[in-house]
């Protein structure tokens, strides 16, 4: 919880990555302990987060990204549990502010990886109007002009945005959405 407070207070560096690994470690889809000993500092590698604490942290992070969808915080929630996927769908469908290209790319990547499975499990996972908005946004973004980028970094995000938008549309279409 101290790490969460530090994140919400704006600390970055390796902290978001460490939090993501700790949340992953506490999930049912976790890697072996050796992996976490390799990627986390020793004091964090031995830390155990209860399922309840994990849920509380995810809920708090979702609340924060709903207001301020910063890319570093979005990445922490990339694992794809239902609460975080629903939050990211809402952000893409109705952003609290204009999103950066990097934030849009991250949201599309995470939704492409997780939203189709959530909708397959629960077809009414998100409201139809929200899903329609996401599809319309993705259809618009699949036409982004990669060559219009002014920097190499922008080109990477434009290319990723285009690719993730196309993949999301195809995945949703295969499930009968659209």
Residues 113-159 pLDDT 10s: 999 999 999 999 999 999 999 999 999 999 999 999 999 999 999 99
Are residues 103 and 124 both part of a single domain?
yes
Domain with 157, as residue range(s), is: 84-178
Are residues 64 and 92 both part of a single domain?
no
* pLDDT tens figures, 76-109: 999 868 999 999 999 999 999 999 999 999 999 9
**Among candidate residues 60, 79, 98, the one where a domain is terminated:** 79
Are residues 122 and 75 both part of a single domain?
no
Query: What global pTM score does this model have?
Result: 0.89
Instruction: Report helix, strand or coil for 31.
Output: coil
**Beta carbons of 126 and 90 less than 8 angstroms apart:** yes
Greater confidence (28 vs 99) lies with 99
């Amino acid at each position: 919880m101290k790490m969460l407070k530090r994140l919400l207070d704006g600390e970055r560096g390796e902290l978001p990555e460490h939090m993501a690994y700790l949340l992953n470690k506490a999930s049912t889809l976790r890697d072996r302990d050796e992996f976490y000993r390799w990627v986390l500092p020793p004091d964090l590698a031995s830390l155990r987060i209860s399922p309840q604490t994990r849920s509380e942290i995810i809920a708090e992070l979702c609340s924060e990204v709903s207001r301020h969808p910063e890319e570093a915080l979005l990445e922490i929630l990339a694992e794809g549990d239902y609460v975080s996927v629903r939050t990211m769908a809402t952000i893409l469908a109705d952003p609290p502010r204009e999103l950066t290209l990097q934030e849009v790319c991250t949201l599309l990547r995470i939704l492409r990886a997780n939203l189709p499975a959530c909708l397959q499990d629960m077809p009414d996972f998100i409201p139809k109007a929200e899903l329609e908005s996401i599809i319309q946004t993705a259809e618009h973004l699949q036409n982004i002009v990669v060559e219009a980028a002014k920097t190499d970094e922008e080109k990477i995000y434009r290319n990723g945005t285009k690719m993730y938008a196309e993949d999301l549309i195809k995945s949703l279409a295969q499930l009968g959405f659209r």
